[in-house]
Amino acid sequence: MGLLTDGPSRCHKGGGLQGKRLGILTGGGDSPGLNAAIRGATLTAIRKYGMEVVGFVDGFNGLFGGPREGEPGWVTLTEDYVQGILTQGGTVLGTANRGNPFQMIVRDERGFPVRDEAGQVVTRDRSAEAVRTMRELNLAGLLCIGGDGTLGMARAFFEQHKVPVVGVPKTIDFDLAATEATFGFKTAVQVACDALDRLRTTADSHDRVLVLEVMGRYAGWIALHAGVAGGAHAILLPERPYDAEAVWRRVNDRFRKHRKFSLVVISEGAKPIGGEHAVAETREHPAGLPVLGGAGERLRRELEAFSKREAEATRARGEWPDEAPEVRVVVLGHVQRGGTPLAEDRIIASACGSFAVDMAARGEFGAMSAWRHGGPAAVPLAAALESHFVDVDRDPLVAAARAMGVCMGDPCDPEDED
């Protein structure tokens, strides 16, 4: 299937795929396990099918040339090239989350974005140029390792240009559907949980409320799993706007009951009832999502405003106000993306990367190598790109958290706990 291959083949090494080329790219934010997926795919392609493997530099940007003018945008991946990368964080190929071949920014001779009369950045569709590059390399298949953005572009290449693509699910956000795991998620959760373990001791020592802001964009999976694992007293998710007063009552009641510290986990995409997402930066690219940030700091101001309001009301009655807890914020940020992946993420990445090559050999394009029932399986890209968010009314982990007295941002009855 597709313009870049002679058709599906079921031959193994020495058969119809011998000498053919497989392309691999990694797109979007980096994620623990990317190198494991590259290694798994490369070794399978070479050892099982006798294929040549090329890796595109910096995601889809590599289809338009290297980072320096005149350099190729791809490297040859050999067995030696991928030795020793299994445990490494990041990606040896590099990645980018601003390179959409269907909406490439038009730049002037100085490199600045060109703008139209309304001041909007001008883009143009250069996907046909990317397809020509893949044709020149005679690719029998292209493995796109990434999250919803990368796989959305892969799907567009498949549907609009018949490019033989196979997706591999990489995202710490766990916001892809049709798969029971996305490698990088478990490592990100562990990093957040480790942070909560450390914050607990300092919060307890100083009688503070410590707010931990974690990644996840508009999906609350990291916050939910890390919050439960780390014993948070409040967990705020993007999927349900939170009542700041409910959070304040929770931490204030703990403080008054002589358990003076509290841990609050907030996802970067969480927002108060009637409020908007906290945005740290807007990107020039029309297709670029805003950089979320500041949700934790906003919550700190909200909690302190309630404490101030209560103190003023108490003084107005001629009484001396009770002491209020001090609130501090920790933004975990890109620490969640870097470093050595957990064993489970390495396993998922290796297996899904290897299976993606098997899918390409069978001609199963326009699909993703998902993790289902303890192993890799093929699912349509369209199914993988469906929404996958926390259902705060039905998710069993949310129910367990509520049962243990964790405030989820809706009106809750604070209970005495650890």
What does the angle CA 44 – CA 45 – CA 46 come to, to the nearest 5 degrees? Answer: 95
What distance in Å separates the CA atoms of residue 73 and residue 60, rounded to the nearest whole number? 9
Q: In which residue are the tokens 């705020």 written?
A: 236
Q: Are the beta carbons of 81 and 89 closer than 8 angstroms?
A: no
Q: Is 363 exposed, middle or buried (0-12, 13-18, 19+ CB in 10 A)?
A: middle
Q: Which of 30, 58, 148, 173 is catalytic?
A: 173
| Packed helices 185-206 and 343-362: angle between N→C axes, nearest 10 degrees | 160
Q: In which residue are the tokens 């934790």 written?
A: 296
Q: Which has the closest alpha carbon to 93: 160, 147, 146, 151?
A: 146
Q: Are the beta carbons of 412 and 234 closer than 8 angstroms?
A: no
Reply yes or no on whether 173 is catalytic: yes
In which order are the strands placed within the sheet that holds 326-331?
Answer: 234-236, 262-267, 208-214, 326-331
Residues with catalytic annotation? 173
